[in-house]
């Protein structure tokens, strides 16, 4: 019989298992997949943005809900400690734009390999292809777990780290919520977060594959601006995605079905309307003898030219020197506010992180132990915590995993 059973070999589970074993506990790690860390492999587009180099308070501020729940976890195992941890395991890291931290090798595989080495070095027993179905409890004390085939694994401490409900192909398919609800825990509403957006306008799909860098996207709810983000946006066959859209998506999820939601894209955010008008005027002087459709290539990527022409009331074959001041002003308005109507989001399958999970009211934030079942610890995305992009979600998984690991040995 193991001292501690860890359910789920993702970021939180591997950290928890390794840390507990490192402190001398006999640890058994049960993983449903045929391999550990499947989700980590696809993080950061295969490069794994494992944390962010900002201060702890800023990390906390990047969790729109329940950020303060993470104080103990993030101060016990900080972003700097996480970087040192991987450096000691032979995976040095580097900082990129926005404080995003990646392995120097740009390989998420190296992160998984390092964690596996850490488990091995500390003697963690690993059982793959084992889907846990039940947490066993007697008189409010955990006694072990049971897998889908009815096999029981007994232990006085169980750390549950089965992840959330997004990207189920990686193994995290919401199993944890069912297991925990059955033993009395409250699961808050589960929704996709950091998720691409579906839009009404068909022209968005005509631009599919186009990435716009350094644009500003503003989200309007019932015509009131609620959030603005600057950075990279991607057009897809159903709408829009990319870092700034994912960040805005959380506010979309909160307001979906409650009123109108619009996205306004400023293609030239560093220029004021006047500066942009001056710029367009200069282009128009240069291309005065050309048709309108042949005058925009210095200003716009080719995929956007027919779209902007269509959205404006200026005929595409009008000669530039015949375009009126009013028409030019309309063009400037479009470039400063390309508007899309949001009709929904993609589902859990395509989201980056789960919004909702085990209520943080029912977990002791200084240990990650359940307040309802003694000996049961919860860490990672299964808990009702989710952050914006930038490495914060993995840091939370590693920090809560660490905190549960060191506390479970007591
Ligand atoms: C495409 C994508 C890219 C991302 N990129 C980033 C990024 O760059 N930076 C960042 O910070 N975050 C990123 N995230 C989010 C981040 O990956 C997760 O928040 C994080 O992995 C959560 O860690 P976890 O250990 O809680 O869960 P997971 O990593 O999902 O691990 C859970 C593990 O539990 C196992 N499991 C589930 N149910 C059972 C069961 N019943 N029995 C046994 N085992 C079970 C699963 O198979 C899985 O291995 C990304 C997510 C996605 C989908």
* 179, 170 contact by CB (below 8 A): no
Those residues whose C-beta lies under 8 Å from the C-beta of residue 291, and which sit 6 or more positions away, are 316, 317, 318, 319, 320
Considering the domain architecture, whether residues 309 and 402 belong to the same structural domain is answered as no
Please report, in angstroms and rounded to a whole number, the separation of the first and last CA atoms in the chain: 17
Please indicate, yes or no, whether residues 215 and 359 belong to a single structural domain of this protein.
Answer: no
- Using a 6 Å cutoff on CB, does residue 309 contact ligand 1? no
The tally of domains found in the chain comes to 2
Q: Among candidates 242, 220, 253, which has minimal Cα distance to 341?
A: 220
Q: Are 170 and 236 in the same domain?
A: no
Specify the ligand 1 atom closest to the Cα of 38.
49
**Cβ–ligand 1 contact at 30 (below 6 Å):** yes
pLDDT tens for each residue of 53-100: 999 999 999 999 999 999 999 999 999 999 999 999 999 999 999 999
What CATH number corresponds to the domain at position 338?
A: 1.10.8.50
Specify whether 90 is located in the same domain as 176: yes
CA distance 105 to 86: 12
The residues facing 339 across adjacent strands are: 264
Q: Residues 164, 214: one domain?
A: no
- Give the pLDDT band (50/70/90) at residue 410: confident
Cα(172) to ligand 1 centroid in Å equals 6
Q: Are residues 315 and 175 in the same domain?
A: no
Residue where one domain finishes, among candidates 316, 346, 376: 346
Question: Is the minimum distance from the CB of 32 to ligand 1 under 6 angstroms?
Answer: yes
Q: What are the tens digits of pLDDT across the range 292-302?
A: 999 999 999 99
pLDDT tier, 305 (very low <50, low <70, confident <90, very high otherwise): very high
Q: Kindly report, residue by residue over 150-196, the tens digit of the pLDDT.
A: 999 999 999 999 999 999 999 999 999 999 999 999 999 999 999 99
Q: What is the pLDDT of residues 375-400, one digit of tens each?
A: 999 999 999 999 999 999 999 999 99
- Angle, helix 325-336 to helix 273-286, in steps of 10 degrees: 120
Statement to judge: residues 36 and 175 lie in one domain: yes
Query: Residue 28 and residue 373: Cα distance in Å, rounded?
Result: 20
Range of the domain at 103: 4-191+354-407
The confidence score (pLDDT) of residue 265 equals 98
Taking alpha carbons only, the member of 385, 380, 371 closest to residue 68 is 385
Where do we find the tokens 């660490």? 402
Does ligand 1 lie within 6 Å of residue 42's CB atom? yes
Same domain, 380 and 328: no
CATH assignment at residue 134: 3.50.50.60
Ligand 1 atom at shortest distance from the alpha carbon of 133: 41
Residues contacting residue 289 through CB under 8 Å, at least 6 positions apart: 319, 320, 321
Given a cut of 90, whether residue 1 has pLDDT beyond it is no
Same domain, 134 and 246: no
Q: Please say whether the beta carbons of 79 and 93 come within 8 A.
A: no
| Residue after which a domain boundary falls, among 346, 368, 383 | 346
Q: Please check whether residue 70 is in contact with residue 57, taking contact to mean a CB–CB distance below 8 angstroms.
A: no
pLDDT digits (tens, 9 = 90+) for 272-283: 999 999 999 999
Any idea which residue has 């939370």 for tokens? 396
284 and 268 assigned to the same domain: yes
Furthest-apart CA pair in the chain: how many Å? Answer: 85
Closest by CA to 216, choosing from 306, 335, 299, 298, is: 335
Tens digits of residue pLDDT in 216-254: 999 999 999 999 999 999 999 999 999 999 999 999 999
Q: Is 357 in the pocket of ligand 1 (CB under 6 A)?
A: no
Check if 380 has its Cβ closer than 6 Å to any atom of ligand 1: yes
Residues β-bridged to residue 157? 4
Q: What is the pLDDT of residue 12?
A: 98
Query: Could you tell me if the CB of 191 is within 6 A of ligand 1?
Result: no
Mean pLDDT of the chain: 97
Q: How far is the CA of 281 from the centre of ligand 1 (A)?
A: 51
Q: State how far the Cα of 115 lies from the Cα of 48, in Å rounded to an integer.
A: 13
From the alpha carbon of 381, which atom of ligand 1 is closest? 26
**CB neighbour class for 129 (10 Å; exposed up to 12, middle 13-18, buried from 19):** exposed
Q: Verify that 101 and 239 share a domain, yes or no.
A: no
Q: Are residues 208 and 186 in the same domain?
A: no
CA-only gyration radius of the chain, Å: 25
**Could you write out the three-class secondary structure of the chain?**
CCCEEEECCCHHHHHHHHHHHHCCCCEEEECCCCCCCHHHHHHHHHCCCCEECCCHHHHHHCCCECHHHHHHHHHHCCHHHHHHHHHHCCCCEEECHHHEEEECCCCHHHHHHHHHHHHHHCCCEEECCCCEEEEEEECCEEEEEEECCCCEEECCEEEECCCCCCCHHHCCCCHHHHHHHHCCCCECCCEEECCCEEECCCHHHHCCCCEEEEEEEEEEECCEEEEEEEEEEEECCCEEECHHHHHHHHHHHHHCCCCCEEEEEECCCCCCHHHHHHHHHHHHHHCCCCEHHHCCCCCCCHHHHHHHHHHCCCCCCCEHHHCCHHHHHHHHHHHHCEEEEEEEECCHHHCCEEECCECHHHECCCCCEECCCECEEECHHHECCECCCCCHHHHHHHHHHHHHHHHHCC
- Residue 177 has a pLDDT of 97
Q: Each residue of 307-366: pLDDT tens digit?
A: 999 999 999 999 999 999 999 999 999 999 999 999 999 999 999 999 999 999 999 999
384 vs 43: CA distance, rounded Å: 20
Distance CA 396, CA 387 (A): 9
Mutate which of 8, 107, 249 to test ligand 1's pocket (most atoms within 8 Å of Cβ)? 8
pTM of the shown model: 0.93
Find the 372 Cα to ligand 1 centroid distance in Å: 25
Share above pLDDT 90 across residues of the chain, in percent, rounded to a whole number: 99
CA distance 134 to 136: 6
Domain edge (last residue) among 295, 314, 346: 346
Ligand 1 center to 37 CA (angstroms) = 7
- When pLDDT is averaged across residues 136-158 and rounded to a whole number, the result is 98
């Amino acid at each position: 019989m193991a001292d501690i059973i860890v359910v789920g070999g993702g970021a939180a589970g591997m950290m928890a298992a390794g840390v507990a074993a490192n402190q001398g506990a006999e640890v058994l790690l049960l993983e449903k997949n045929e391999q550990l860390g499947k989700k980590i492999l696809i993080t950061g587009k295969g490069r794994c943005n494992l944390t962010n180099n900002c201060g702890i308070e800023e990390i906390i501020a990047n969790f729109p809900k329940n950020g303060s729940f993470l104080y103990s976890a993030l101060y016990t195992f900080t972003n700097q400690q996480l970087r040192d941890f991987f450096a000691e395991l032979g995976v040095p890291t580097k900082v990129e734009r926005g404080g995003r931290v990646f392995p120097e090798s740009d390989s998420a595989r190296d992160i998984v390999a390092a964690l596996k080495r850490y488990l091995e070095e500390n003697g963690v027993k690993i059982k793959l292809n084992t889907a846990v179905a039940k947490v066993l409890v007697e008189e409010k004390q955990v006694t072990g777990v049971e897998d889908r085939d009815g096999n029981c694994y007994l232990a006085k401490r169980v750390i549950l780290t089965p992840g959330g409900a997004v990207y189920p192909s990686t193994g995290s398919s919401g199993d944890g919520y069912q297991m925990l609800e059955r033993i009395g825990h409250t699961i808050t509403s589960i929704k996709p977060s950091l998720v691409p957006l579906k839009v009404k306008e068909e022209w968005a799909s005509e631009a599919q594959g186009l990435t716009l860098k350094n644009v500003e996207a503003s989200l309007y709810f019932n015509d009131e601006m609620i959030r603005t983000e600057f950075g990279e946006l991607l057009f897809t066959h159903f709408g829009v995605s990319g870092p700034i859209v994912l960040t805005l998506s959380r506010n979309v999820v909160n307001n979906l079905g409650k009123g109108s939601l619009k996205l306004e894209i400023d293609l030239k955010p560093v220029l004021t309307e006047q500066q942009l008008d001056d710029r367009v005027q200069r282009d128009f002087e240069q291309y005065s003898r050309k048709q309108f459709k042949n005058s925009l290539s210095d200003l716009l990527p080719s995929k956007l030219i027919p779209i902007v022409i269509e959205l404006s009331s200026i005929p595409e074959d009008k000669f530039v020197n015949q375009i009126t001041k009013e028409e030019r002003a309309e063009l400037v308005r479009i470039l400063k506010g390309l508007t899309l109507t949001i009709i929904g989001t993609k589902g859990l399958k395509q989201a980056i992180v789960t919004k909702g999970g085990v209520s943080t009211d029912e977990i002791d934030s200084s240990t990650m132990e359940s307040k309802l079942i003694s000996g049961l610890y919860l860490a990672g995305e299964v808990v009702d915590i989710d952050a914006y992009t930038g490495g914060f979600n993995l840091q939370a998984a590693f920090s809560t995993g660490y905190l549960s690991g060191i506390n479970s040995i007591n």
